[in-house]
Structure 1
Amino acid sequence: MLIIRRILHGSSAAALLLVPALPSAAVAAAPGDAPPPGVVGGERLGAAGVQVAAGAPALPKDLTGKSWVVADAGSGEVLASFNAHAKLPPASTLKMLFADTVLPRFQASEVHKVAWSELQGMGAGSSLVGIKEDLDYKVEDLWRGVFLSSGNDAVHVLANMNGGVAKTVADMQERAERLQALDTHVVSPDGYDMDGQVTSAYDLTLFARAGLRNADFRAYCATRWAQFPGAVDKKTGQRGSFGIANTDRLLGTYPGLIGVKNGYTTNAGATYTGAAERDGRTLLVTVMHPDNSTKVYDEAAALLDWGFTAAGKTTPVGALAEDRAAPQEQSAPAAPAARPVADRPDAAAAPDAGRAATRRPPGRARRPGRRWGCARRSRRRAAAAAGAAPPGRPAGSLLDRRAGAGAVRQAALRPVRRARRTARVANGGSTSRATRRDSERGAGPRLLAGSSQARRWQTCPAMCSSSSRKPSPRQSRASRSARTASGSPQVP
């Protein structure tokens, strides 16, 4: 009954006669639903109903989404689809296009002070991350607010940084056309319900594929938890922070999931695009407007399972269009992003977690008698003294000038230090720091008046004197040298 209802929704009652003769995994479009000429991605993707190759594994049952697509992110092959080009409201999944358009334009460490005007114009009931006016925010924090909390306030701040909401909408529309996402019409950068704002499951899959080629995009959408800057405490004057969690319910629960974005509005219902990686293959799944908003994750997970089973065993029914401005070699999937530090709840308690990247590689033995990194520092100092740029840094940097000045200063001090050591030895002194320290202390240690150690010293100086303690090997050698120089007999 589910298949019959879907085909009727596709628009032809004649399809009812074809259902009993076709398996559920290969429902064909009705004769009256011929695709328009020149459909992006292939003619079959423009047809209504389920599109899947004959002989493919059976599709999951009870799929209720009005539109969905299963595609290989690496090859661009569309393995199966249902009303792939149906134009529907996008909800917050449109933020993938926003991020793909605006993300490369700002440095993650850039700091921006939010103005009151940048938080205006958001729709009623918008999802917010909690940005406050007249406070500074890093760009990377704003993007976490976009990806994790789906914050429309973060979107509007970034859009204003980009030149305004109207300019950002125009940029997004231009980017969609370059990606050949021709079903998309952008009205609001955050995906809020607006008249005429539509997209398709096919276009959302294009946005996700393009965005995942950006390492920052990939890292943000894979982040499960992060700290977000809060307001300033009026009593202490200190700025606090609070935790935000990714609203993607499959992230961390579906094996191999790497993002991408979910969304929900009253008009659009639930929408979701997810990407998962398994055995070196990355699949993309988009589901739009199922019967129940909670089913969007179940249906996406079921389609991902089917895709990993069918990949390499079924003939594709279409292809994902390539970016018109990008070279063909960029069609390969991006390398998996390292798990972000902010992905762990204990990230705030581990400020030096990034030091792990500079540790000794596993399996490489430590050089005996030397600390790791000494050779590198020696090479840099030698290069600085010679006037060359140290390895790993551009020539003329501030660090080079400091290293060069330090090397020159150390070289100038070496003859002076050598002369001082020679003079001390000639005068019968010792070069041992321990010996010089003991000689400076005098007959007894410096004790606090009235302390228990001072009372013991007064009772039995011989027991508390530094000479009664067992000397270190360096002190013993220095003492023997001093007694030999003075003619005193040596005690074995």
Structure 2
Amino acid sequence: MGIDARVSKKAGAVALLAAAGVSLTSIPAAANGATARQPAAARAGVQAPTDPGTARLPSGLSALSWMVADADTGNVLAAKSPHRRLAPASTLKTLFAVTVLPKFSAGTVRRVSSADLDGIGAGSSVVGVRQGRRYTVGDLWRGVFLRSGNDAVHVLASMNGGWRTTADEMQETARKLGARDTTVKSPDGYDAPGQVSSAHDLTVFARAGLANEDFARYCSTSRATFPGAGGATRIENTNRLLVGSHGMARYPGIIGVKNGYTTKAGNTLIAAARRNGRTLLVTVLNPQSKEYNAVYKEAGALLDWGFRTAGTAQPVGTLHAVRATDEDGGPLRPVAADVTPAPRGGSPWRGPLVLAAGGAGLAAFGLGAVLARRRQTRDGGVRRGGTA
């Protein structure tokens, strides 16, 4: 497998999220299922609360598909075509991280070979990994999350047994998480024939990821250093809602997660934010308005709507928990195989879950209420071409 060192992690109960004074509390480890049963025509369109007095959805939403979900309760607050299968671009790196990140400790060192970098797609976003240089696994994950580096993904996939093996493991992880709309062909999210995901599935991946302290830390990092030929160089996250750049202000309470772009996928984004004790996830796929920063503006508008609406209106559906048979990595068994309406008046879950799946290399951690502050960061941008 070409692995210099490999360290397995066991599930833990408390995790630190360094997100400008933002912390997540008791996010369940994973999700399975989607929104409530509705006629096919309704499922293909917009699903939103109809309670009297509920805030109207934002105007001008042009994305082909989107979802707003409460990360703590699993309630789906609103969605448009949540199971429409679309190219995900680099938001698929969330599934890559959920699958591979728990396998190697951050301090593990890898000397990059030419084989590690084989097959990087033309025009890919890269962080600057060089053959013959040594990188820690932590360096590589910062390259994945901040710069969407397909070169870093290739090295980590090589450590994991290869490109095809990693794609197969990601597919198995998606299956165990109940994400049935996803087909993995290229683990970095680069456009490949047949590769698709959905707003539902990407929300599931982000939610499972945020239950892992390392994922939560990396996806919320705005600025870091990366080894370069002349010494450490500064890299900034390409998520404009996180860093505040290119005409976008940093979103209040932003946690982060992942943005992406390819020619086929257009702009894609999974954004998580926490305000007033509530954590929301918004996934937006391929806005059609052609407006500058459309994916960020639409995600921000949906987050604003969600924070106004959450807890006051009947959800349109719920995400279901997936439990492991034992904490050390037995087979996963979904609580429910299909979707059901969300109950009124509370969460369907009673506390955090722990998820582990040795076969897919998946281990997620329950999140606690540890609070951390992080300094403000300078602007960062999005790299276009391939995935970003």
Give matches, 1:305-454, under 5 Å.
Answer: 305-325=304-324, 329-331=351-353, 334-335=367-368
> Across the two proteins, how many residue pairs are aligned to each other?
301
| Counterparts of 1:339 and 1:146, CA distance in 2 | 23
Q: Spell out the pairing of 1:215-254 with structure 2 (5 A cutoff).
A: 215-231=213-229, 240-252=231-243, 253-254=250-251
Deviation at 1:334, TM superposition (A): 2.5
Alpha-carbon distance in structure 1 between the residues aligned to 2:318 and 2:237: 30
For residues 226-269 of structure 1, give each alpha carbon's deviation from its aligned partner in whole angstroms, at most 9, with x where no partner exists. Answer: 110012x5xxxxxx111100000001400101011000000000
Preserved CA contact (<8 Å) 2:241 2:251: yes
Q: Secondary structure at the match of 1:270?
A: strand
CA distance in 2, matches of 1:127, 1:98: 16
Contact 1:250–1:257 (CA under 8 A) maintained in structure 2: yes
Q: Are positions 1:289 and 2:277 aligned together?
A: no
Aligned mate of 1:255, from 252, 265, 282:
252
CA contact (8 A) 2:110 2:136 kept: yes
Q: State how far apart, in whole Å, the 1-side matches of 2:181 and 2:107 are.
A: 35
Could you say which residue in structure 2 is the equivalent of 1:57? 55
- Kept in 2: contact 1:45–1:81 (CA 8 A): no
1:241 to 1:187, Cα distance in 2 relative to 1, 3 A: same
In 2, the alpha carbon distance for the partners of 1:202 and 1:138 equals 33
Partner of 1:169: 167
Name 1:395's counterpart in structure 2: none
* C-alpha distance 99-57 of structure 1, shift in aligned 2 (>3 A): same
Identify the residue that residue 99 of structure 2 maps to in structure 1: 101
Aligned to 1:88: 86
Q: Give the distance between the partners of 1:321 and 1:251, measured in 2 at CA.
A: 28
Distance 2:241 2:66 in 1: 17
Query: What TM-score do the two structures reach when normalised by structure 2?
Result: 0.74
| Aligned counterparts of 1:340 and 1:84: Cα–Cα separation in 2 | 34
RMSD value, Cα: 2.2
Residue of structure 2 in register with 1:48 after alignment: 44
Residue 308 to residue 272, structure 1, CA distance change in 2 (3 Å): same
Higher RCO by CA contacts (8 Å cutoff, separation 6 or greater): 2
Q: Indicate if the aligned counterparts of 1:68 and 1:287 stay in contact, CA closer than 8 A.
A: yes
Matched residue SS, 1:157: helix
C-alpha contact (below 8 Å) 2:270/2:282 kept by paired residues: yes
Contact 2:77 2:317 in 1 (8 A): yes
For 2:147 and 2:188, locate their aligned partners in 1 and report how far apart those are by CA, in whole Å: 12
Tell whether the 8 Å contact from 1:93 to 1:261 is kept in structure 2 after alignment. yes
Is structure 2 residue 270 aligned with structure 1 residue 279? no
Contact 2:323 2:353 in 1 (8 A): no
Going by fraction, where is helix more abundant, 1 or 2? 1
Query: Cα deviation per residue 1:296-342 (whole Å; 9 max; x = unaligned)?
Result: 00000000000000011110111123235388743597246765879
CA shift in 2, pair 1:340/1:117, >3 Å: farther
With over 3 angstroms needed to count, the CA separation of the structure-2 counterparts of 1:312 and 1:338, relative to structure 1, is: closer
Query: Of residues 104, 124, 127 in structure 1, which corresponds to 2:125?
Result: 127
Tell me how far 1:41 sits from its aligned partner: 3.7
Find the counterpart in structure 1 of residue 340 from structure 2.
none
CA contact (8 A) 1:103 1:217 kept: yes
Q: Which has the larger radius of gyration?
A: 1
In structure 1, give the amino acid aligned to 2:273.
Answer: A
Report the AA paired with residue 290 of structure 1: P
| Contact map agreement 1:39 1:45 (CA 8 A) in 2 | no
SS at 1:229's partner residue? strand
- Alpha-carbon shift at residue 271 of structure 1 (Å): 0.5
The 2-side partners of 1:89 and 1:48 are apart by: 17
Partner of 1:303: 302
Partner of residue 148, structure 1 = 146
Matched residue type, 2:264: N
How far did residue 279 of structure 1 move? 1.3
Contact 1:206–1:321, Cα closer than 8 Å, also in 2: no
Distance 2:256 2:126 in 1: 20
Q: What is the DSSP-based 3-state SS (H/G/I as helix, E as strand, rest coil) of the residue aligned with 1:44?
A: coil
**1:268 maps to which of 265, 274, 281:** 265
C-alpha offsets along residues 205-236 of structure 1, whole Å, 9 cap, x if unaligned?
000000000011000011000110012x5xxx
* Partner AA of 2:259 in structure 1: N
C-alpha displacement at 1:48, in angstroms? Answer: 1.4
Give the structure 2 partner of residue 476 of structure 1.
none
Query: Is this contact kept in 2: 1:75–1:331, CA < 8 A?
Result: no
Separation in 2, partners of 1:335, 1:307: 23
Confirm or deny: 8 A CA contact 2:76 2:315 kept in the other structure.
Answer: yes
Q: Which amino acid aligns with 1:118?
A: D
Is the Cα–Cα contact under 8 Å of residues 178 and 324 in structure 1 kept in the other structure? no
> Any unmatched runs of 5+ in structure 1?
1-37, 234-239, 346-492
- Give the corresponding residue for 2:336: none
- Report the residue type matching 2:240 in the other structure: R
Shift of 1:117: 0.8
Q: Secondary structure at the match of 2:352?
A: helix
One-letter amino acid of the structure 1 residue matched with residue 196 of structure 2: V
CA gap of 1:101–1:205, structure 2 versus 1, over 3 A, is same
User: In 2, distance between residues paired with 1:304 and 1:196?
Assistant: 31
What CA distance in whole angstroms lies between the structure 2 residues aligned with 1:124 and 1:336?
42
Percent identical across equivalent pairs? Answer: 54
Cα pair distance change 1:125/1:75, threshold 3 Å? same
Question: 1:388 — aligned with what?
Answer: none
TM-score by length of 1: 0.58
* Runs of 5+ unmatched residues, structure 2: 1-31, 244-249, 328-348, 355-365, 379-388
Matched residues in 1 for 2:85 and 2:284: separation?
A: 13
Deviation at 1:49, TM superposition (A): 1.0
Separation in structure 2 between the aligned mates of residue 48 and residue 39 of structure 1, nearest angstrom: 16
CA distance in 1, matches of 2:309, 2:161: 45
After superposition, the C-alpha distances for 1:397-452 in whole angstroms (9 at most, x for unaligned) are xxxxxxxxxxxxxxxxxxxxxxxxxxxxxxxxxxxxxxxxxxxxxxxxxxxxxxxx
Q: Which has the higher strand share?
A: 2
